[in-house]
Amino acid sequence: MTSKTTDLSLDEIFNLAKSALINNGANEENADAVASTVTNAERDGSVSHGLFRIPGYIKALQSNKVDGSAVPEIEEITPVILRCDAQNGFAPLAHKYGIEKLINAANAFGIAGLSIQRCHHFAALWPEVEAISDQGLVGLTSVSYMPGVAPSGGTTALFGTNPIAFSWPRPGKNPIVFDMATASMAKGEIQIAARDGHSVPLGTGLSPSGELTTDASEIDKGVLLPFGGHKGSVIALMIELLSGPLVGETFSYETKERDNGDGGPAQGGQFILAMSPEIISGKDTSAQTEDFLKKYNEIEGTRLPGERRHENRKDLGKRQVNSALVNTIKELII
C-alpha cells in the first residue's frame, strides 16, 4: 500500500511546523528551534523525525508536559563540563544554547562534555554531532527513551530505542556521521511501516505474545529487539547509563514512570561529548583520515555513513510529505 503525498517546499514545511507549534503554545524562539530541526530532517530525508513528529510535539504542549516558553540555563561546572537545565523545554533550544559553549570549551581544552537535564528530545541526533564536527571537532552523543526494546535474550522491554551518534570532521567536506537507534529499527520507522502496511525483517521485534514477526503493527504493540543480538544489547545498556545517571537524569523505565502518557516526547537526559583531534593527537589528522577514507571508498559496495543525507541535502526542491499527516497538522493550526 502506498500513501498519498503532498509536495511541500522546505519553507512550507518550516512554516507549517512553526505555525502548528505557535498555535499550540510554543513561543517564537522554541517554535523556531523545533521547526528548524523538523525542516532539516525533511531536507535530509530523515522523515521519521520530520513533520511526522509534529503531532507528538503538540500533544506535549497541549498537556503542559513541555514548557513551550522554556529558556534553557547553562552552568559551567568545570572549564570542560557544562550542565544544561533545559527547563522542561524541547531539545533543539537546549542545543542552540549549549553546543556553541561546548565547542568553545573543547577547542580550548581538547575535550568537553555537555550534560542536558529536564529535556524533551524527539528528533534525530545527527544535528548535534554535525554542528560539533562543522567546527573541526569529533562529536558523540546519546539519549535514552521509554522502554520499547527487550535486552538480548528477553521478551520484556527495558531499554529505549536508545540512539547514539558520532561524527568526525573533514575540513572542507561533510563530516562522517553515523546516527542510529540501538533497536533493530527506530520506533518512528516501525510506526511508518505499520501505517503504510509494510512488513519488516524477521528479528526486528516480537509480537505482544513474544513471537518473532515481520508484521510492523504487531511489533508496534509488542517489543523491538536490539540490533546485532547481544552486541547491540550491551551498547543499549551503555546508553542507559550515559544518558541517565551520568548526566543526572533517568533510566528509560524511570522516564516512563513519570511520563503522563500523552504520546509526546518524555523528559530525559542527553550526553554530548566534543573532542579536538588536533589537541588530543598533537597532529593535523586530516591527511591520515583522508588516506583511510580513500581506502574505504575503494572497496566496492561501501558508502560512508551520512552520505545519503548529505546527498539529499543538495536537493532544494519540494519534498513529498504524507498527505494525511499534512492534513493532521493543518487541523492543529487553530
**Segment contacting ligand NDP by CB under 6 A, of 194-202, 241-249, 254-262, 307-315:** 307-315
Q: Which of 46, 49, 240, 249 is catalytic?
A: 49
C-alpha 227/C-alpha 186 separation (Å) is 10
Contact call for residues 23 and 329 (beta carbons, < 8 A):
no
C-alpha 283/C-alpha 271 separation (Å) is 27
Three cell numbers written together for 137: 571537532
User: Known catalytic residue: 281?
Assistant: no
Q: What is the CA radius of gyration of the chain?
A: 20
> Per-residue x/- marks for ligand NDP, 257-296, CB under 6 A?
----------------------------------------
One of 303, 315, 323, 327 touching ligand NDP (CB under 6 A): 303
**Segment contacting ligand NDP by CB under 6 A, of 24-32, 248-256, 304-312, 319-327:** 304-312
User: Known catalytic residue: 189?
Assistant: yes
One of 67, 189, 218, 220 touching ligand NDP (CB under 6 A): 189
Q: Rounded to 5 degrees, what angle do the CA atoms 187, 193, 197 make?
A: 145
How big is the site for ligand NDP, counted in residues (CB under 6 A)? 26
Please give the residues from 26 up to 65 whose contact with ligand NDP meets the rule CB under 6 A: 46, 49
If DSSP states are collapsed to H, E and C, what string results for 87-114? EEEEHHHHHHHHHHHHHHHHHHHCEEEE
User: Known catalytic residue: 120?
Assistant: no
Please give the residues from 138 up to 177 whose contact with ligand NDP meets the rule CB under 6 A: 143, 145, 161, 163, 165
**Segment contacting ligand NDP by CB under 6 A, of 103-111, 116-124, 149-157, 314-322:** 116-124
For 31, residues 6+ apart whose C-beta sits below 8 A from its C-beta are 17, 18, 21, 22, 68
Q: Which of 46, 48, 133, 167 is catalytic?
A: 48
Nearest to 71 by CA among 93, 98, 101, 91: 93
The DSSP 8-state label assigned to residue 320 in this structure reads E
Catalytic center residues:
48-49, 189
Q: Please report, as ranges, the residues that interact with ligand NDP according to CB under 6 A.
A: 46, 49, 121-126, 143, 145, 161, 163, 165, 178-181, 185-186, 189, 303, 305-309
